[in-house]
């Protein structure tokens, strides 16, 4: 793996760490924060620009749920100062003692800026027939 891919994957990992830990400040650091940024959470409307995206993360992080991602089928493609990461997010979430498992197809578009790689687009789509609810199971 080349150094470009390693840097991009490190930025992508920082995004998922911020997501799992509900760390708003860390999430703010990974985004490009431009009016052209787009975020599409599964089941949500298309969010345009940092202001809408920022408020979506505040709402998500305010929920009392615990999230764990295991990424599979990760692919990185760099074209100049743009990089695309596609993956499957294998998500375990626990909310009120109920564990839900889901598979989400995700695309993250990264831009190389003076501050390093910054996220400009995140799009997550649930994959058909891949949600499972397990009552009263604690995550490991």
pLDDT score recorded for residue 139: 47
Long-range contacts: 19-22, Cβ < 8 Å, 24+? 19/67, 19/69, 20/67, 20/68, 20/69, 22/60, 22/61, 22/67
Mean pLDDT, to the nearest integer, of 2-22?
A: 93
96: left (phi over 0), alpha (psi -120 to 50) or beta: left
Mean pLDDT, to the nearest integer, of 114-134?
A: 85
The SS3 assignment for 99 reads: strand
pLDDT band at 2 (very low <50, low <70, confident <90, very high): confident
Domains of the chain: residue spans and CATH:
3-135 (3.10.450.50)
Please check the confidence at residue 137 and state whether its pLDDT lies above 60: no
pLDDT band at 4 (very low <50, low <70, confident <90, very high): confident
Q: What is the pLDDT of residues 18-59, one digit of tens each?
A: 999 999 999 999 999 999 999 999 999 999 999 999 999 999
Please check the confidence at residue 130 and state whether its pLDDT lies above 70: no
By percentage, how much of the chain surpasses pLDDT 90?
79
> Which uninterrupted H or E stretch holds 139?
none
Please check the confidence at residue 135 and state whether its pLDDT lies above 60: no
More confident: 138 or 114: 114
| Residue among 32, 39, 67 nearest 55 (CA) | 39
Phi then psi for residue 115, to 5 deg, are: -95, 5
């Amino acid at each position: 793996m080349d150094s470009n891919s390693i840097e991009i994957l490190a930025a992508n990992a920082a995004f998922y760490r911020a997501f799992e830990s509900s760390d708003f400040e860390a999430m703010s650091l990974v985004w490009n924060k431009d009016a052209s940024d787009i975020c599409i959470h599964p089941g949500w409307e298309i969010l345009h620009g940092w202001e809408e995206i920022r408020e979506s993360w505040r709402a998500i992080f305010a929920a009392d749920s615990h999230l764990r991602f295991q990424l599979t089928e990760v692919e990185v493609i760099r074209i100049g100062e743009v990089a695309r990461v596609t993956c499957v997010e294998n998500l375990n979430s626990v909310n009120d003692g109920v564990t839900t498992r889901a598979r989400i197809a995700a695309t993250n578009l990264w831009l190389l800026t003076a501050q390093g790689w910054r996220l400009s687009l995140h799009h997550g789509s649930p994959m058909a027939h891949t949600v499972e609810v397990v009552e009263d199971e604690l995550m490991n």
